[in-house]
Amino acid sequence: MTRTAGLPPGLWRTLGQTILAMLCLALVALVVPGTARAQSHDHGGTATEAATTQPATSETAATEATSAGASPGVSYHAPLVFTLRTGIAQGRMVYIGVGGTINGQINPTLTVYEGELVQVNLINGEGAEHDMFVDQYNARSSLVVEKNASSTFSFLANKPGEFAYFCTIPGHRAAGMEGLIQVIAGSREEADDQVADIVRDPGDVPEPIGQRQPEVVKVELETVELKGRLDNGTSYEFWTFNRKVPGPLIRVRVGDTVEVKLKNHADSVVMHSVDFHAATGPGGGAHSTQTEPGAENTVTFKALKPGVYVYHCATPSVAHHITNGMYGMIVVEPEGGLPQVDREFYVMQGELYTVEPFGTQGEMEMDYDKLISENPEYFVFNGAVESLTKRHPLYANAGETVRIYFGVGGPNFTSSFHVIGEIFDTAYSFGSVTSPPLTNVQTITVPPGGSTVVDFKLDRAGTFVLVDHALSRAERGLAGYLIVDGPENDEIMHSGTADQAPAPAQ
């Protein structure tokens, strides 16, 4: 099963148009999915997402929806994508699976879970006229007539059971163009209970330091290799600092002495270490912390310069350790601290290079050839797909000021960090907190191993989407929600014409 994999050039144009339509519709239709709560380190759940109530077509790949007791909205998470090519096999007209676990299968059974958004890409493989219809869902493709022509359609799998998909051209179904879509009752999350949640809660931020004298700060990091949930139904052997991705946000002030004890868990398979970009000295501490499984080492450094810095494992292959999740950030506050805000969040971006294509179910392994050729399958915030949408959204209230410490673990791709529907009041480029910040910034560039700090005031309620504005990456897992509770303040934005704006509050 795959979301996007091995698509021929003729399909990219259609898919590109569909993806753009999905993004635009999603941005327009997104509203608060349920009642927002104050962010805490243990908020006990995730935002309720509204469900789609009618099937999407190639013209409307993302649709508004309403679930009982919830506001209408759409999910920004990429759907499950199946690609099928029409063809002739065993003397019959058939659909042939393309990519993932259905690759090469004739009329493959498409297995999904109840409540999932399903996207089907249909490619004409031999030049006869075809389409595809899903029984009981009233979901269908457009006709594909020319060889290599393609069509894309979507629907919400909200009815458990087995349902036929087939070609509606007279005689084609009887000639062999029929398969099954199996919708399994219950959520995919219920099937993932045995897999660890490695996602770092973005609200897991130490308190500001503010005014105090320099002191010795002791930090304990444990490198742990564990199977974690990469996506619904998909797991990966993550390498972590303290069992989460990213590692903990460390907070000190300029002039502090930072003592770092690194312990490598006894169950680890390989050696690990840590390199602090905030440290001055060989390897940023990595020379002193190359640690065998079951052992520990300590390195001490002086925080000489304020800023927001990345740390990561620096054991060869360094890129391998980083892509597996071994990165984090350290905030070195200037004397007197940073300007005060109401809330702070911690978000990092990374890539994963799996053998199987994006969206394939089961246990994923790292593909070293893809890694060194910089060909990732996944782009993620805080370690996993849906990390900041369904699992750990950011929560705040209208009228508050928020700060996001944002970094890129990478190991390879630069981020164009953007919050859709907001403007950064101040942005500290490259994590420099002693340079004058930029003001009124829409999107900010963050390189691998780099960081930024963005502050902004929340002027109205709503759901604001965190993205890398290389927006195709949203289709490979890279999106998050900032859910803001409170008045919507229609004077700032409202549907309809200017003369339909509500009168200002007295």
CA 501 to chain centre: 35
Q: Give the pLDDT confidence score for residue 159 in this predicted structure.
A: 86
Q: Give the pLDDT confidence score for residue 6 in this predicted structure.
A: 38
Q: Where is 161: in which H helix or E strand?
A: strand 161-166
Give the separation between CA 481 and CA 75, rounded to whole angstroms: 10
Q: Which CATH class is domain 9-186?
A: mainly beta
Nearest Cα neighbor of 306 from 254, 236, 364 is 254
Q: Give the pLDDT confidence score for residue 493 in this predicted structure.
A: 80
Annotated binding site: 272, 277, 312-313, 321, 326, 469
Q: Is the pLDDT higher at 195 or at 41?
A: 195
The ranges of the chain annotated as CATH 2.60.40.420 are 9-186, 195-493
Q: Give the pLDDT confidence score for residue 233 in this predicted structure.
A: 85
Percentage of the chain modeled with pLDDT above 90: 71
Segments of 232-342 assigned E as strands: 234-241, 250-253, 257-264, 275-276, 296-302, 307-312, 327-333
Residue 468 has pLDDT above 60, yes or no: yes
Q: Pick the most confident of 90-104, 160-174, 290-304.
A: 290-304
8 Å CB contact between 259 and 300: yes
pLDDT band per the 50, 70, 90 thresholds, residue 439: very high
Nearest Cα neighbor of 227 from 216, 215, 235 is 235
pLDDT band per the 50, 70, 90 thresholds, residue 10: very low
Residue 449 has pLDDT above 50, yes or no: yes
Task: Summarize pLDDT for 329-373 with one digit per residue, the tens.
Answer: 999 999 999 999 999 999 999 999 999 999 888 899 999 999 999
Q: Give the pLDDT confidence score for residue 190 in this predicted structure.
A: 66
Q: Which residues in 288-301 are b (16+ Cβ under 10 Å) and which e?
A: bbbbeeeeebbbeb
pLDDT band per the 50, 70, 90 thresholds, residue 114: confident
Nearest Cα neighbor of 431 from 413, 412, 417, 411 is 417
Q: Is the pLDDT higher at 237 or at 233?
A: 237
Residue 188 has pLDDT above 80, yes or no: no
Measured on CA atoms in the order 15, 21, 27, 32, is the torsion positive or negative? negative
Q: Give the pLDDT confidence score for residue 492 in this predicted structure.
A: 82
SS3 content of the chain, % helix, strand, coil (to 5): 10, 40, 50
Phi/psi of residue 151, nearest 5 degrees: -145, 150
Nearest Cα neighbor of 165 from 137, 129, 132, 192 is 132
Averaged pLDDT score across all residues of the chain: 85
Give the contacts of 86 (CB within 8 A, at least 6 positions apart). Answer: 93, 94, 95, 96, 122, 123, 124, 125, 126, 128, 130, 144, 167, 177
The β-bridge partners of 468 are 417
Q: Give the pLDDT confidence score for residue 193 in this predicted structure.
A: 64
Q: Give the pLDDT confidence score for residue 316 in this predicted structure.
A: 96
Q: Quick count: other Cβ atoms within 10 Å of Cβ 358?
A: 26
What is the value of pTM for the model shown?
0.67
Give the separation between CA 215 and CA 272, rounded to whole angstroms: 28
Task: Summarize pLDDT for 363-414 with one digit per residue, the tens.
Answer: 999 999 999 999 999 999 999 999 999 889 999 999 999 999 999 999 999 9
Annotated binding site for Cu cation: 272, 277, 312-313, 321, 326, 469
Q: β-strands 150-156, 161-166: how paired?
A: unpaired
Distances (CA, A) of 177 to 96, 106, 166, 384: 10, 9, 6, 37
Nearest Cα neighbor of 410 from 316, 477, 310 is 310
The arithmetic mean of pLDDT across residues 193-209, rounded, is: 90
Task: Summarize pLDDT for 25-69 with one digit per residue, the tens.
Answer: 344 333 333 333 333 333 333 322 322 222 233 333 333 332 323
Nearest Cα neighbor of 203 from 239, 251, 249 is 249
Decide: residue 211, CB within 10 A, 0-12 exposed, 13-18 middle, 19+ buried: exposed
Give the contacts of 120 (CB within 8 A, at least 6 positions apart). Answer: 81, 82, 83, 84, 110, 132, 134, 141, 152, 153, 154, 165
Give the separation between CA 425 and CA 440, rounded to whole angstroms: 5
Residue 95 has pLDDT above 70, yes or no: yes
Give the separation between CA 299 and CA 281, rounded to whole angstroms: 11
CATH code reported for the domain at 195-493:
2.60.40.420
The arithmetic mean of pLDDT across residues 261-278, rounded, is: 98
Q: Give the pLDDT confidence score for residue 138 in this predicted structure.
A: 86
Q: Give the pLDDT confidence score for residue 189 in this predicted structure.
A: 67
Q: Give the pLDDT confidence score for residue 505 in this predicted structure.
A: 54
Segments of 365-461 assigned E as strands: 378-381, 394-397, 401-410, 415-420, 424-428, 438-441, 443-446, 451-457
Residue 204 has pLDDT above 50, yes or no: yes
Distances (CA, A) of 112 to 3, 52, 155, 361, 468: 12, 16, 12, 10, 28
Q: β-strands 443-446, 415-420: how paired?
A: antiparallel
Phi/psi of residue 493, nearest 5 degrees: -155, 135
Q: Give the pLDDT confidence score for residue 495 in this predicted structure.
A: 81
Q: Give the pLDDT confidence score for residue 56 in this predicted structure.
A: 31
Q: Give the pLDDT confidence score for residue 139 in this predicted structure.
A: 94
Q: Is the pLDDT higher at 11 or at 106?
A: 106
The arithmetic mean of pLDDT across residues 80-97, rounded, is: 94
Q: Where is 29: in which H helix or E strand?
A: helix 9-29
Residue 186 has pLDDT above 80, yes or no: no
